[in-house]
Amino acid sequence: MIEACDLTKSYGGKVAVDHLSFIVQPGRVTGFLGPNGAGKSTTMRLILGLDRPQSGSATIDGKSYDELANPLRTVGALLEAKSVHPGRSARNHLLFLAQSQGLPARRVDEVLDLVGLRAVAGKRAGTFSLGMSQRLGIAGAMLGDPRVLLLDEPVNGLDPEGVLWIRNLMKYLASEGRTILVSSHLMNEMAVTADHLIVIGRGKLIADSATADVIARSSEQSVRVVSPDAVRLTPLIEAEGGKVTPVAQSRDPGASADPAPALTVTGLGAPRIGELAASSSVVLHELSPQLASLEEAFMELTAGSLEFGEHGQGGPPGEPATPAPAATPGGSAR
Amino acid sequence: MTAPAPTSPVPASAPALGTAPAGGVSGFGRLLASEWTKIRSVRSTVWTLIAFVAVTVGFEVLLTSLISASWNSGPNHVTRDATISADPVNFIMGAGINLGQLTICVLGVLLITTEYGTGVIRASLLAVPRRWPMLTAKIVVFAVLMLVVSEIVVFSIFFIGSAIMHSHAPVSFGDPGVSRAVVGAGLYLTVLGLFALGIGGLIRHTAGAVSTVIGVVLVLPILAGLLPGSWGEHINAYLPEQAGSLIATHAESKAAHLLTPWEGFGVLCLWTALMLAGAFYLLHRRDA
């Protein structure tokens, strides 16, 4: 379990992590999500004791990182920044790490096998491709068979096969009861990998809940309605408190051969819209609830933190979803 | 060449280590082994060490051969020959060390600045988050390595140099002060390397740290020598290289120099302790 408590860190007056608190539970993959520069890497460095926080603390299974006797046997980390000497062979890089933890040298070969680098173990790490470097980083993280793993953008630079491999590895490791915190700025990757999401923007917590909940809570639930009788339907919906936005024919990606106008309705569910239409004998060609993608949910979540730094505060709990179907800056003046 | 991609996480090949043996080595012994692996597995340090041996022995042979060939001839040979004859061990050791010591300075700096330059420092500090044991182990491993290599080299150049100079300025290992000068030359090189390591830890950038060390070793004595009156002499006496290298001379009395050989060596040790203390302090304080 990783516990961050009120972590704050600024560099030269610029706040990178701002009173950030969260808990990463074991047994599941926790995605650590945020736009570039949101403070993900800094947070990981604070947890790992590489940087010192101005205030707050981070603990791993109840201990701060520098209290761990053989830290690599408890925590494995893959940092985004390079941490390998390009002139040193992969095997020697892992060997000095293993020796520092009192791990037997055969463990080096085991993790080289795990990541598929055994054949190039004697080669200088500087000759490795980005994907091979990432695998070497994973090997280093797995060296001590740690209960806790922190992976900073692990799929960066990997080919699809490598991405799949890391995804499966993380899920497998989580299924063994380990604590996995994996950062990414790629929402779609997190959607298929993470069970739980911690979303930050400008160093502040935006969301901390199950991946499905994050999508559901932060995205607007809208309903797409296509009706030749839209003119009659609109006041009916508005009378019930719904908000109707006509979809311009030219900009409607869903427009097929149907010449009937399309509407986007928010604030009213599809069943009620159907009942209203039936009671007034309005013909409907289409009535479909729209699900936002994780990408849209993320844009929605972090838009505030990007545009108006102060609004990311507090996170979504209790707050209703913000009505901003198209993320136009002017339209989301909250 | 690309690595064969594993098709599955291969859990079977990553057995749990909960009961893995600790390796039978105590905590600090592990760090020594780890630091030794770091030093020996990087070409830059290995080649710098080879360069040290080659430069030191090479210049020993070159300079002593040149002097030997031009003994009793050439301009100013009277003063020169008299100076050498008065303290032959000083000349013999200096012939190889004066340039060879620069490679030691580079090696000491590289040992720590490459960790910062390549980012290995992050891996190192993740492994040893309390930080100080890592630097301590690095210092111990480097000191032992330097002591062994330096003593072998200084003994070699003493016997090579004294053999070449034998007919002009005979000196034997048994002469008073000579054994101390030879053994001391190895100690001097070792401590100078640690001094450079300390500077490397303070500055963290290879170019800046190498320039600084070379400046202290080569340039400061010259600048101090330009000062009027006895200022230069007094300042020079306490500069790290000037004071430390006294131990590789025959002079026993304070008459010739302001400090005795061991006092001079002590001054170098103090400088080194100061730099290393600064390196420890900043390693603890700074973000990695």
- Best-predicted range by mean pLDDT (A178-182, A229-233, B20-24, B232-236): A178-182
pLDDT at A311 over 60: no
Number of H helices, E strands in chain A: 10, 13
Q: Which residue would you say has higher pLDDT here, B288 or A17?
A: A17
**C-alpha closest to that of A298 among A155, A199, A203, A193:** A199
**C-alpha closest to that of A183 among A311, A50, A37:** A37
Q: What domain range is B131 assigned to? A: 27-285
In this structure, of A134-138, A241-245, B194-198, the range with the lowest mean pLDDT score is A241-245
Contact A83/B120, CB-based, under 8 Å? yes
A56 is a domain residue? yes
B151-163: pLDDT as tens digits: 999 999 999 999 9
User: Which residues of chain B make contact with A161, given a CB cutoff of 8 A?
Assistant: 5
Mean pLDDT of A145-162: 92
Say if residue A178 is in the same domain as residue A262: no
Q: Please calculate the CA angle A174-A178-A182 and round it to the nearest 5 degrees.
A: 65
Last residue of a domain, one of A217, A246, A262: A217
Which CATH number covers residue A73? 3.40.50.300
A298 is a domain residue? no
Which CATH number covers residue A266? 3.30.70
For residue A121, give the 3-state DSSP assignment. coil
Mean pLDDT of A156-161: 86
Say if residue A31 is in the same domain as residue A128: yes
Q: How confident is the model at residue A122 (pLDDT cuts 50, 70, 90)?
A: very high
Q: Does any CB of chain A come closer than 8 Å to the CB of residue B14? A: yes
Q: What domain range is A82 assigned to? A: 2-217
Q: Does any CB of chain A come closer than 8 Å to the CB of residue B2? A: yes
* Side-by-side strand order, sheet with A179-184: A75-78, A148-152, A179-184, A28-33, A196-201, A204-210
Q: Which residue would you say has higher pLDDT here, B61 or A319?
A: B61
Mean pLDDT of A212-220: 70
Helices (H), chain A: 40-47, 90-100, 106-115, 130-142, 160-175, 187-193, 211-218, 230-239, 270-279, 294-307
The rounded Cα A142 to chain-centroid distance in angstroms is: 22
User: Which residues of chain B make contact with A99, given a CB cutoff of 8 A?
Assistant: 30-31, 33-34, 37
Burial (CB < 10 A; 0-12, 13-18, 19+), residue A14, is exposed
Contact A85/B1, CB-based, under 8 Å? no
Mean pLDDT of A197-213: 90
Compute the distance between CA of residue A118 and CA of residue A101 in angstroms, rounded to an integer. Answer: 21
Handedness of CA A31, A33, A37, A38 (dihedral sign): negative
A257 is a domain residue? yes
For residue A14, give the 3-state DSSP assignment. strand
Mean pLDDT of A189-212: 90
Q: Which residue would you say has higher pLDDT here, A296 or B218?
A: B218
Q: Estimate the share of chain A in helix, then strand, then coil, as percent rounded to the nearest 5.
A: 40, 25, 35
Q: Closest Cα of chain B to A3: distance in Å?
A: 18
Position A246: which residue type?
A: P
Q: Are A267 and A221 in contact (CB under 8 A)?
A: no
Say if residue A13 is in the same domain as residue A161: yes
Q: Which residue of B has its CA nearest to A117?
A: B3
A237 is a domain residue? yes
Q: Which residue would you say has higher pLDDT here, B20 or A17?
A: A17
SS (H, E, C) chain B: CCCCCCCCCCHHHCCCCCCCCCCCCCHHHHHHHHHHHHHHCCHHHHHHHHHHHHHHHHHHHHHHHHHHHCCCCCCCHHHHHHHHHHCHHHHHHHHHHHHHHHHHHHHHHHHHHHHHHHCHHHHHHHHCCCCHHHHHHHHHHHHHHHHHHHHHHHHHHHHHHHHHHCCCCCCCCCCCCHHHHHHHHHHHHHHHHHHHHHHHHHHCCHHHHHHHHHHHHHHHHHHHHCCCCCHHHHHHHCCHHHHHHHHHCCCCCCCCCCCCHHHHHHHHHHHHHHHHHHHHHHHHHCCC
B15 is a domain residue? no
For residue A126, give the 3-state DSSP assignment. helix
Q: Which residue would you say has higher pLDDT here, A222 or A111?
A: A111
Token couple for B20: 């893995």
Last residue of a domain, one of A217, A238, A264: A217
Q: Phi, psi (5° rounding) for residue A75?
A: -125, 130
Q: Who contacts B272 (Cβ-Cβ below 8 Å, separation ≥6)? A: B191, B192, B194, B195, B198, B240
In this structure, of A295-299, B74-78, B160-164, B180-184, the range with the lowest mean pLDDT score is A295-299
Say if residue A150 is in the same domain as residue A95: yes
B137 is a domain residue? yes
Q: What is the DSSP string of A16-46?
A: EEEEEEEEE-TTEEEEEE--TTSSHHHHHHH
Q: Which residue of A has its CA nearest to B287?
A: A51
Mean pLDDT of B136-148: 98
B14 is a domain residue? no
CB atoms within 10 A of CB B46: 14
B141 is a domain residue? yes
pLDDT of residue A306: 58
pLDDT at A158 over 90: no
pLDDT of residue A252: 57
Cα-based torsion angle of the residue sequence A119, A121, A125, A131 in order, rounded to the nearest 10 degrees: 50
Contact A100/B5, CB-based, under 8 Å? no
Say if residue A151 is in the same domain as residue A6: yes
Contact B122/A100, CB-based, under 8 Å? no
The rounded Cα B70 to chain-centroid distance in angstroms is: 31
pLDDT at B29 over 70: yes
B194 is a domain residue? yes
CB atoms within 10 A of CB B18: 8
Say if residue A48 is in the same domain as residue A197: yes
pLDDT of residue A255: 54
Q: How confident is the model at residue A260 (pLDDT cuts 50, 70, 90)?
A: confident
Q: Who contacts B19 (Cβ-Cβ below 8 Å, separation ≥6)? A: none
Predicted TM-score (pTM) of this structure: 0.82
Compute the distance between CA of residue A70 and CA of residue A84 in angstroms, rounded to an integer. Answer: 20
How many independent structural domains does chain B possess?
1
Say if residue A152 is in the same domain as residue A268: no
Mean pLDDT of B121-138: 96
Mean pLDDT of A72-89: 93
A322 is a domain residue? no
Q: Which residue would you say has higher pLDDT here, B13 or A142?
A: A142
pLDDT of residue B232: 85
User: Which residues of chain A make contact with B9, given a CB cutoff of 8 A?
Assistant: 114, 165, 168-169, 172-173
Contact B23/A102, CB-based, under 8 Å? yes
pLDDT of residue B76: 87
Q: Which residue of B has its CA nearest to A42?
A: B287
A5-18: pLDDT as tens digits: 999 999 988 999 99
Say if residue A22 is in the same domain as residue A115: yes
pLDDT of residue A220: 61
How many independent structural domains does chain A possess?
2
Of A75, A81, A129, the CB nearest to B2: A129
pLDDT at B65 over 50: yes
**C-alpha closest to that of B94 among B70, B63, B73, B67:** B63
Q: Closest Cα of chain A to B11: distance in Å?
A: 8
Mean pLDDT of B227-235: 85
**C-alpha closest to that of A16 among A50, A46, A48, A57:** A46
B6 is a domain residue? no
pLDDT of residue A264: 84
Compute the distance between CA of residue B51 and CA of residue B42 in angstroms, rounded to an integer. Answer: 14
- Helix (H) / strand (E) element for A155: namely none
B2 is a domain residue? no
Residue position matching structure tokens 């030093």:
B39
Token couple for B87: 């303290």
Say if residue A179 is in the same domain as residue A253: no
Interface of B with A in 21-60 (CB under 8 A): 21-23, 25, 27, 30-31, 33-35, 37-38, 41-44
CB atoms within 10 A of CB B271: 22
Mean pLDDT of A112-126: 95
Helix axes B261-285, B178-203, angle to 10 degrees: 20
Residue position matching structure tokens 């013999």:
B92
Say if residue A243 is in the same domain as residue A209: no
Say if residue A20 is in the same domain as residue A82: yes
Mean pLDDT of B100-110: 96
Q: Does ipTM come in above 0.85?
A: yes
Say if residue A25 is in the same domain as residue A102: yes
Q: Are A65 and A57 in contact (CB under 8 A)?
A: no
User: Which residues of chain A make contact with B30, given a CB cutoff of 8 A?
Assistant: 99-102
Compute the distance between CA of residue A273 and CA of residue A278 in angstroms, rounded to an integer. Answer: 9
Look over chain B and give the mean of its residue pLDDT values, rounded to a whole number: 89
Compute the distance between CA of residue B141 and CA of residue B175 in angstroms, rounded to an integer. Answer: 33
Contact A81/B119, CB-based, under 8 Å? yes
Contact B9/A169, CB-based, under 8 Å? yes
pLDDT of residue A251: 57
A286 is a domain residue? yes
DSSP letter at A81? Answer: S
Q: How confident is the model at residue A305 (pLDDT cuts 50, 70, 90)?
A: low
pLDDT of residue B17: 47
